[in-house]
Amino acid sequence: MADSADASRGPPPIVGILWMLLTGANFVAVTALVKHVGDAVPAPEAAFLRYLLGLVFLAPMLRPLFRAGLNRAAFVLYGWRGLAHALGVICWFYAMTRIPIAEVTAMNYLNPVYVTIGAALVFGERLALRRILAIAVAFAGVLVILRPGFREVSDGHLAMLFTALFFGASYLMAKKLSERDNAAVVVAMLSISVTIALAPFAFAVWVTPTLTQLSWLFGVAFFATAGHFTMTMAFRAAPLTVTQPVTFLQLVWATLVGWLMFDEAVDGWVILGGGMIVGAVVFITWREAVLRRRASAPAATKP
C-alpha cells in the first residue's frame, strides 16, 4: 500500500522514458564526436583531454567532496577504480577509431552483464538459473555481432570486450564506494582519479592538438556529463524496468549516425546481436526488481 502511494505521488513513467531518450541522444553525440576526431589524436590522449576538459563541470561537487572526510582505504579504492575506468576509456576510444559506431554501441551493452557476473564472484550474490540463461543469451549476442569464422574479428572488437570488462570492474567498485559516500563524491572522485590515471598514457603518445580538436573533445566532455545527468534523472523518475528497454534505441540512433555521417553500412547482424544483449540486460534488471519487491514486501505489511 505504501509503495503504491509513493508511486502515485511520483512522476509518470513517461517522464523517465523521455529522460532516457535524451540520455541516448547525448551518448550518441559523444560517439559521433569521438568518431569525428578519429585517430588524429591518439586514443589515450583523446581520453585524457576529454576528462581534463570535463573537470570544469565538477564545480558543484567540490563542497561535498571536501566534506567527505575520505580516509586512506577510500583513496586506495578510488585509485583502483580510476585505473580500471581509465583503461576502459582508452580501449573505448581506440575501438571508436577501428570499428563502426553501431558495433561499439552494441558491445557496450555488455557492461551490466559483466557487473552481474562480478557481483556473484566478488559479493557472493546468487546467480539463479534464469540469470545464467540471460547471461548466455547476452554472450550469444556478442557472437552474432562478431561472427568469428565468418568475418574478421579486429583489434577494435577485442578492445570493446576489454572495455566492458574494465567498466564492469569500475562499476563494482562504485557499488562498494556508494555505500560510504554520496553520489556527488563518487562522481567527482571518478573524474579526478581517471584524469590522473590517464595522464602518463597520454604523455607517452602526446601529439599537440589543434584548437579545433580541443573544441570537439570539449563537446565530448559536455555531452558525456549531460548524459550522466539525464540518466540519473531517468532513474529517479521511473524504475529501471521502464527505462532500460529504451536504451535499445541508442543502438538504432548510433546505426543511423554511422550510416548518414560516416558512410558505415547498416549491419542487420549487429542490430540482432545488440537486441539479444539488451533483451538479456532488461530481463536481468526485471528479475532484480522483482526480487527487491519480494524482499521489501514483509517490511511494508508490518503495522
- Residues facing 148 on adjacent strands: 151
Q: How much is the mean pLDDT over the chain? A: 81
The predicted pLDDT at position 7 comes to: 45
Quick one: residue 53, left, alpha or beta (phi over 0 = left, psi -120 to 50 = alpha)?
A: alpha
Q: Decide: 188 and 61 in contact? Cβ < 8 Å.
A: yes
pTM above 0.75, yes or no: yes
The predicted pLDDT at position 86 comes to: 93
Per-residue pLDDT at 209 exceeds 80 = yes
pLDDT tens figures, 59-114 = 777 777 777 677 788 888 889 999 999 999 999 999 988 888 888 888 888 877 78
Q: Decide: 82 and 190 in contact? Cβ < 8 Å.
A: yes
The predicted pLDDT at position 207 comes to: 92
Per-residue pLDDT at 254 exceeds 60 = yes
CA 64 – CA 119 distance, rounded (Å) = 28
Angle at 128 between CA 125 and CA 130, to 5 degrees: 135
Cell of 237: 523518475
Per-residue pLDDT at 301 exceeds 60 = no
The predicted pLDDT at position 300 comes to: 44
**Residue that wins the pLDDT comparison between 150 and 176:** 176
Q: Decide: 93 and 46 in contact? Cβ < 8 Å.
A: yes
The domain ranges of the chain are 2-301
